[in-house]
Chain A
Amino acid sequence: KAGVTQTPRYLIKTRGQQVTLSCSPISGHRSVSWYQQTPGQGLQFLFEYFSETQRNKGNFPGRFSGRQFSNSRSEMNVSTLELGDSALYLCASSMSDRGIAGYTFGSGTRLTVV
């Protein structure tokens, strides 16, 4: 079966712009989480969605937002981009009834802010 699909794979944006990243979970998975990965801070939790509702949120500014659609696909948006937002953004999906082990990560979207 298809894995977690993230698009686009690579993105270059200018400081001050906004960006939208997309995540298509594994078919049947209803929970989607987003993480930011940087060399300095490592993997940091952004937010988690389940059945179109944000269930959990990490310590990121309000410029970072997300949503989940009825088909479980999710998007995250970053407004007013800063250089420090350059990172690998990872999405993970789960059926949510199998605990953490059920989480499958996508290959990520590499965002570069210039």
Chain B
Amino acid sequence: GESVGLHLPTLSVQEGDNSIINCAYSNSASDYFIWYKQESGKGPQFIIDIRSNMDKRQGQRVTVLLNKTVKHLSLQIAATQPGDSAVYFCAENKNYGGSQGNLIFGKGTKLSVKP
């Protein structure tokens, strides 16, 4: 069936290094992708999004790359800080601008930042 999955369940990086979190998706009809960050005891927090007509989008210290050829999404975090420690989810949506509620989430990658 259609699903969004993650390559690695855990990722440990040194403070100050760059982090790369990967995500694979299987539904070529998806036209909108989002990265969320979830800290312990909190709900998911929006980080950055990208539409399928783009292959790269940058935010503050974060970059999302979309490779539609291999159905791969990645989140790059520059100069990773201890506050970045959290679980990161990718999510896809097939109807941008329409019924936005039906997000399909990946399983999540736990990022741990070592001081």
Contact = CB atoms under 8 A, between A and B. Distances in A.
A81 to B, nearest CB: 22
B56 interface: no
Contacts of A101: 34, 46, 49
Given A56-B102, A100-B34, A42 B44 contact: no
Main secondary structure of the interface of B (DSSP, over half): loop
Contacts of B106: 42
Interface residues of B, number: 24
* Chain A residues touching B, range: 20 to 34
A108 B106 CA distance: 18
Interface of B: 32, 34, 41-46, 49, 89, 91, 93, 96-97, 99-108
Interface of A: 4, 31, 33, 35, 42-45, 47-48, 55-56, 58, 90, 92, 94, 96, 99-108
